[in-house]
Amino acid sequence: MSTSESVTLPPYTIIEPLGGPLEGSLTVPGDKSISHRAVLFAAMAEGTSHLTGVLDSEDVRASIRAVEALGASVLLDRQADGTLAGTVTGWGQQGPAQPDAPIDCGNSGTTARLLMGIVAPWDIKVTITGDASLQKRPMRRIVAPLAKMGCDFEPETPEHLPITVCGSRELRAIDYTSPMASAQLKTAVLLAGTFAEGTTTVNEPAPSRNHTELMLPEFNVPTTAGTRVASVQGPAEMLASDVVVPGDPSSAAFVAAAALLARGSSVRIENVSLNPARIGFVRTLERMGADIRESYEGAEGKEPRGAITINYTPTLRGCEIPSQHIASVIDEIPVLALVAAHARGITVFHEVGELRVKESDRLAAIIEGLGQLGIDAWEEGDDLYVEGNPNLQVPAGLVFDSHGDHRLAMTWALVGACGRVPVNVTEFTCVAVSYPDFLADLKGLVK
């Protein structure tokens, strides 16, 4: 194409109103947290694991590329339902291979942080890096416990990627009290502890998602877990296992919010993970008065799954989300804040400082975006306040900055999709990180 013919695309996507209520049922893509773990744990294990329902998204592909670089063999194909299924043959007792180049984790914090724990107990040197957003995210929280276990790093006490992990076969088991409720931190330490001599324990100030503790025993790792504590007994022999990944509640939360914002909607989300550590948004929306309920239909391994049904509810009210519950809604706070903007009264999210170090500074971005809607939202210390307006009228011509963050892009897209006027969202394609078919799925529910 000559330069005169080339078209400069606008840096934003126009999101048009869907034009009607959302009705019927759908499935959402595979759970991102469980998909990462299925791929990574299968790569660490001896033998061939069969995986189904794996999320096909940029983040999970980063984990797949990472384990391939370390010597695992991944044969996952895209299925008719859009998920990935197939086999992963792990490196097992022989350990991961020395990669010949840095491993680029793209935008995926879960890949980068879990990988540090995975390579730490082996005699290899692995440089881990990521995109501009990931290079800004804090890594000291993972480096600190792994260093206590005897792992070295280059530079010596790094804060940010790129980081070279200098692994060791002589890691020491530790009893670690984590300063924050983080499943990524907990998992990195437990994965390193799987190959250290003795019991490695992580204590948390509040419960974080527990997919690791539920899945490790399936891969033959002796594991015990309580509400704010998890331990592994090393050294373990990880053996292949089969994993069926249920739908992602974090993606379901956007569909649920859409049903609450688009008048007259009634939606059933099928085959979604109902792990209590992940459906804090259902509890929160209930407390706001939403007509939402979950029905249990069984389990995949130890992960409960079922359906979430949600009906448009004309009057919602603000509520308080205490700090102990924040980990169970951490990825859903942007979209819950948008729902709170439509509720009567004030919603308070307590102790949400972690939002500042997600894929973007989500705390600032929520306040900025809600401000564009004419909604008063502010921070007091680490608490987020949203003063709702049930009569909210969206002004025409808004341009929301997604900051390249998938959960912000989907949140602001709902303003246009479920409202009466289109909105513009910058870098909307970043939804491919967790929910590539997000808009198509919403459109499929409009009759």
Residues forming the active site:
331
The smaller minimum CB distance to ligand S3P, of residues 144 and 446, is found at 144
The residue type found at 267 is V
Smallest separation (angstroms) from ligand S3P to the CB of 186: 7
Site membership for ligand S3P, residue 108 (CB under 6 A): no
Judged by CB under 6 A, the residue of 107, 110, 241, 411 near ligand S3P is 110
Residues 19-78 binding ligand S3P (CB under 6 A) are 33, 36
The smaller minimum CB distance to ligand S3P, of residues 331 and 405, is found at 331
The smaller minimum CB distance to ligand S3P, of residues 59 and 441, is found at 59
The smaller minimum CB distance to ligand S3P, of residues 303 and 331, is found at 331
Cis-peptide into 235, omega within 30 deg: yes
Smallest separation (angstroms) from ligand S3P to the CB of 138: 9
Smallest separation (angstroms) from ligand S3P to the CB of 241: 18
Site map (CB under 6 A) of ligand S3P, residues 383-422, x = contact:
----------------------------------------
Output b/e per residue, 28-44; b: 16+ Cβ within 10 A: bbbbbbbbbbbbbbbbb
The residue type found at 221 is V
Residue with structure tokens 């499929």? Answer: 444
Smallest separation (angstroms) from ligand S3P to the CB of 196: 21
Please tell me the distance from the alpha carbon of residue 85 to that of residue 88, in angstroms, as a whole number: 10
Smallest separation (angstroms) from ligand S3P to the CB of 215: 11
Residues 150-209 binding ligand S3P (CB under 6 A) are 182-184, 187, 208-209
The smaller minimum CB distance to ligand S3P, of residues 89 and 194, is found at 194
The smaller minimum CB distance to ligand S3P, of residues 115 and 375, is found at 115
DSSP characters over 306-348: EEEEEE--S--B--EE-GGGGGGGGGGHHHHHHHHHTSBSEEE
Smallest separation (angstroms) from ligand S3P to the CB of 442: 21
Kindly determine how many residues on this chain lie close enough to bind ligand S3P according to the rule CB under 6 A: 11
User: Residue 324 in contact with residue 330, Cβ under 8 Å?
Assistant: no
Residues 226-285 binding ligand S3P (CB under 6 A) are none
Q: What is the edge-to-edge ordering of all strands in the sheet holding 152-154?
A: 103-104, 125-129, 163-166, 152-154
Residue with structure tokens 């002796």? Answer: 222
Please tell me the distance from the alpha carbon of residue 215 to that of residue 223, in angstroms, as a whole number: 9
Residue 150 CA neighbour count, 13 Å, CB half: 15
- Strand segments (E) across 56-174: 73-78, 84-89, 103-104, 125-129, 152-154, 163-166
Site membership for ligand S3P, residue 316 (CB under 6 A): no
The residue type found at 101 is A
Site membership for ligand S3P, residue 331 (CB under 6 A): yes
Helix axes 406-417, 249-261, angle to 10 degrees: 20
The smaller minimum CB distance to ligand S3P, of residues 331 and 401, is found at 331
The dihedral formed by the CA atoms of 132, 66, 180 and 361, expressed in degrees to the nearest 10: 20
C-alpha pair distances (Å), 290 with each of 67, 286, 357: 42, 5, 30
Please tell me the distance from the alpha carbon of residue 55 to that of residue 113, in angstroms, as a whole number: 19
Please tell me the distance from the alpha carbon of residue 407 to that of residue 192, in angstroms, as a whole number: 30
Smallest separation (angstroms) from ligand S3P to the CB of 313: 27
The residue type found at 391 is N
Binding-site ranges for ligand S3P (CB under 6 A)? 33, 36, 110, 182-184, 187, 208-209, 330-331
